[in-house]
Amino acid sequence: MNRLASMLLLAVAMLGCASGGTARSVALGQPFTLQPGERVSLPGDASLRYLTIANDSRCPPDAQCIRAGDADVLFEFTPAGGTTGRITLNTERMTSASIGAWQLQLVTLEQGDAPRATVRVDEAR
Q: How far apart are CA 18 and CA 53, in angstroms?
A: 26
User: What pLDDT, on the 0 to 100 scale, is given for residue 21?
Assistant: 55
User: What pLDDT, on the 0 to 100 scale, is given for residue 120?
Assistant: 96
Neighbours of 15 (CB within 10 A): 10
Residue ranges per structural domain of the chain: 24-123
Output the pTM of the full model: 0.78
> Please, where are the H alpha helices in the chain?
2-19
Q: Are residues 100 and 77 in contact, defined by beta-carbon separation less than 8 angstroms?
A: yes
Q: Are residues 81 and 70 in contact, defined by beta-carbon separation less than 8 angstroms?
A: no
Domain 24-123 CATH assignment equals 2.60.98.40: yes
Flag residues of the chain having pLDDT under 50. Answer: 1-20
User: What pLDDT, on the 0 to 100 scale, is given for residue 63?
Assistant: 82
User: What pLDDT, on the 0 to 100 scale, is given for residue 32?
Assistant: 96
